[in-house]
Structure 1
Amino acid sequence: MKLTWSGIKNEYRRLLDFSGRRSARYAAWEKLAEQGNEEARYRLLMLYSEKQKEFYPLAFKWTLRVAKESANCAVLLQAAQMLEAGHGTVQDDSQALVWFERALSLHILQGKNSSLSAERLNYIQEHIQSLRAKLGRE
């Protein structure tokens, strides 16, 4: 096989294409998630914590899907935060309030088994009060 300068440059670009490799990895995870793979679903919703805005829609899609089926307060809280901020979706205070309230209700039901810290619980309660006031639902 004869090496050419353009071939070397193309291979070098391919190796340094972190975004392309990341996108391919996320596409593979999404395929697994669609087939019901729990680990892939959680990996996709955790993309939100990476703070890369181009992947927020994918993170929101899986956050919402997992939140609808989950008994994990942290996932419900993430759905609320994404809706409130408009990250990966249209900003929607009304829906954010619903998800904050669901997270709080689940926390109460789980009691000591809840994954939420006291700090996060206070955060949720503050946001519920704030959103209710903003939406005129006090």
Structure 2
Amino acid sequence: MATAKITVADVRRFLLDKPEANTLIDGVRWTDEDIDKACIDVIDAYNVIPPPVGFVQTVEQFPLRYLLLIGVTGHLLRGAAVSEASNQLTYSAEGVQVADRDRAQIFTELGNSFWKDFLDMSKQVKISQNVNALLGGKGSEYGWGPSY
């Protein structure tokens, strides 16, 4: 599989996805393959978000690490929401009620928030790239950040 500009460790660190923090699932929530696939899916989504910029981004050269990180986060959380919703079962025994998979709503809200940020920033980046290409502008003094 191609190597993304963000690593599995970057995503895990951002999401605090580590066994000691996931006491109910006794491990990490997402596999390395889940995270790698999310990187590909998010860049595919970026490539179809209007406006077009005349070239297609790939996992290996996607230049905006933070944008990719929040997109991957939104993608993973939205997927987890589907899993939580489809496996939700509340039960009770001897007066104790247990709902061990009742996080669908919070995952949906968080995932949608990150995904909206990803979409908004993606559009702004693409508009800026198009304006610079059209006007042959000097570009921002901030540049696009360091090359990793």
Scaled by the length of structure 2, what TM-score is found?
Answer: 0.27
Q: Which has the higher helix share?
A: 1
Scaled by the length of structure 1, what TM-score is found?
Answer: 0.29
Q: Which has the higher contact order (CA 8 A, sep 6+)?
A: 2
The structure whose Rg is larger is: 1
Q: Which has the higher strand share?
A: 2
